[in-house]
Structure 1
Amino acid sequence: MSSLQFQLQHTNTDSKARAGKIITDHGEIETPIFMPVGTVGSVKAVTQQQLNADVQAQIILGNTYHLYLRPGLDVLETSGGLHKFNGWHKPILTDSGGYQVFSLANNRKITEEGVIFQSHIDGSKHLFTPENVMDIQRSIGGDIIMAFDECPPYPSEYKYAKDSMELTHRWLDRCFTRFNATPDRYGYTQNLFPIVQGSTYKDLRIASAEFIASKNAAGNAIGGLSVGEPTEMMYEFTSLCADILPLDKPRYLMGVGTPWNILECIALGIDMFDCVMPTRNGRNAMLFTSKGVINIDNKKWEKDFSVIDDGIDCEMSNYYSKAYLRHLVKSKEILALTIASVHNLAFYLWLVKQARKHIIEGDFISWKNNMVLNLQQRL
């Protein structure tokens, strides 16, 4: 067993883009990387076999809030952890559940101790604290586990944002204390990432990034962005935080975003991304492709028998036609959800792999600028 390692392999002189490698006990992850979201231990409408073969995913996410409520820790512990429960044998990142507590739970109450909330499933009351969230994530079995934080909404008043950030910092100290006092589970190393907060206030973001950097964690995350603020503001604060966080540790921008958001943030020095957009949009007939965005529901695709996307490396995208997928969508056939979700995820993984290739070759910025214009086209 060894702690997570990060090897910085390539940088460019014309941007802060980096290519690297994260090494975990469940395998290596080449960065920059996109991580499909498997909220309840499953990436919606996609099998683990498809994640491996078609999507070529290297790491997926699980969510503490959802997995704690159902199936519950007893089932997960008895099975030997999430890897054995869901049959995914590569790395898993578990997020702390903080965002879900604040966005999904009813009648939540934030105190110094933690957050009391009601389950969205049955209304039962629960308490999340920095300590028990560490214990819960150890039980779920993530290779990377996230600190318990408060994610303030946008916009937030300065006082609220400052108080929230300071609470997140106090909770972080408690997370590390509990994490360091408890053993890894299931025979492999688990690694804690802290999260930068501070809303859209420059002084708070600087203070939070400096505090997080001082913890010398295995990796670091930037939270509280892509929550409704203007895109340019997201880029501004991503850049600000990335400049402060250590060069020799992976940087994870939480919950971002569109394909063009991801390329712009790679240029700002981000290594890891996750977002529900590829699967959620896919289930709603929006396809991201190497030539632009497609609403497959539109009549214009009714007799288009060309494949979904021959520009990416995905058997499903190269096999089914746009006309056939549109027919499945119109028929409300379940297979439509799978094809669209697998395609969008494969496209995201293809995109970050291409970004890595161009970082290594030294022409990332010119490639990125052209690709961003291309990807944003509505076909």
Structure 2
Amino acid sequence: MERKILHLDLDAFFCAVEELLDPSLKGKAFAVGGSPKSRGVVSSCSYPARLRGVHSAMPMGRALELCPDLIVVHHRFGVYGETSDKVMDILRDYTPLFQQVSVDEAFLDVSDLPQPIGAIARDMQQRIEHELHLPCSIGAATNKLVAKVANDYGKSRIRTGQAPRQITVVPPGTEADFLAPLDVQALWGIGPKTAQRLHSRGIHTIGQLAELPLAELEHFFGKNAAEVQESARGIDRSPVHSSREVKSVSNEVTFSRDTSDMEQLLGTLRQLSDKVGYRMRQARLMGGVVQIKLRYGDFTTLTRQRALPTPTNLDDEIYAAVEKLFLDNLTPERNVRLVGVGVSQLSQPFQQLELWDDSRGQAEQLALAIDALKEKYGKNIITRGSQMKSRPPKRGKKD
């Protein structure tokens, strides 16, 4: 079976988060980083700033020389980390074969999903834009190397002063042809100095590099020559592996307008419970502690949790605990900005006497049947009647 690998990169991530916090920055040349007085550097810059020659890792003083009207924004790494976690939670909805590379970058192996890889990438991109209002670009191929290069290539072609929002798909069997015309520096592990040495010998493209005998490659790359040769030919067998153990599964929603509408709040908590349960079953996990998160209009945040008598991954059992926690801890008439549901103390499924109960067994079979429908036809193919009556959380306009 051909592998289906995605490389996702958030477009100018720090700047995109800053634009959400301060919409007046949209369309302006600005950079996130340290002060020029303290010899700070550019951590990230907006796309209008890039058109003026500003780029990341540039001294902020130099950036201001190139773009005198550049707005300098001090970085807020805590906020970026929290936002990154929300993006990664969405990615985990698609597959447990997920590898976070940095705060704004990840690989996913979606080989087990039946949909075409381009359709999966489009759905992922739209979800992140819709739920978090963040732009991203995705490269899709049969391996990590080509997916990464494809994404970089797709993003580099857009020079409009706006986020690229690209999806670049390299069909199976065309990896070498795709790489061949690209500059050698597009390959992993080939920096400016090595590229300059290759250029001085008349080797400019990856295709030219792929045709070199192994002995000649050893002159440039030593013991890594064979690996570089395979990379130049579009071959990469490295797996996508999880970089950290999953300790909890959670989802949350921020309302576009603060609300105290109980029907809307409970309906949203029901939806979140269903999402968490679905993700747990996909990852073959059960959890022993249910947690809710409430953030009020004044940004006061409350979290409460409850241990379950038996670990579960069933939507109804999760929601029963969520509903009780919510009703026991909600301050009446107080407007709510955000609600969240999480399950922790995760473990692999196991059987206890309760699992032989007919009603619970039927609930498990129903959940698995619904999951199968979602996997085949999409997550929105089936909706609870109670959710159709309740109003879903309103969301702001897309960027």
- With a CA cutoff of 8 Å and minimum separation of 6, indicate the structure with the bigger relative contact order: 1
**TM, length-normalised to structure 2:** 0.24
Give the number of the structure whose alpha-carbon radius of gyration is greater. 2
- TM-score, normalising length from structure 1? 0.24
